[in-house]
Amino acid sequence: MSSLLFPMGLLLAAGMIGSAALALFTSQRITAVLAAGLVSLFASVLFLLLAAPDVAMTEAAIGSGLTTFLFLFVLGRIRRENKQ
């Protein structure tokens, strides 16, 4: 288990850095929002691997769930008001 832990942690960290970079450098807002949510999703799996399931649940529910929804709501609102 512990021999598997290190490469998996490395993989998840690489995924986090990759999606964070995607969120920074993409030109589409919707992609940036989803990539930022992906960072939190990878982080919550990493917390689970590090034996912190409570923190992992908080991260998954608030970090990758509600925050992403909040951004999407605000994006939709901006788009709606620009059309008027």
Site map for another protein, 39-58, x if CB under 8 A?
A: --------------xx-xxx
| 73 in contact with another protein (CB under 8 A) | yes
| 74 in contact with another protein (CB under 8 A) | yes
Q: How far is the CB of 70 from another protein (least distance, A)?
A: 7
| 24 in contact with another protein (CB under 8 A) | no
**DSSP, residue by residue, 11-79:** HHHHHHHHHHHHHHH-S-HHHHHHHHHHHHHHHHHHHHHTT-HHHHHHIIIIIIIIHHHHHHHHHHHHH
- For residue 26, the number of C-alpha atoms closer than 13 Å in the C-beta half-sphere is 15
Residues making contact with another protein (CB under 8 A)? 53-54, 56-58, 61-62, 65-66, 69-70, 73-74, 76-77, 79-84
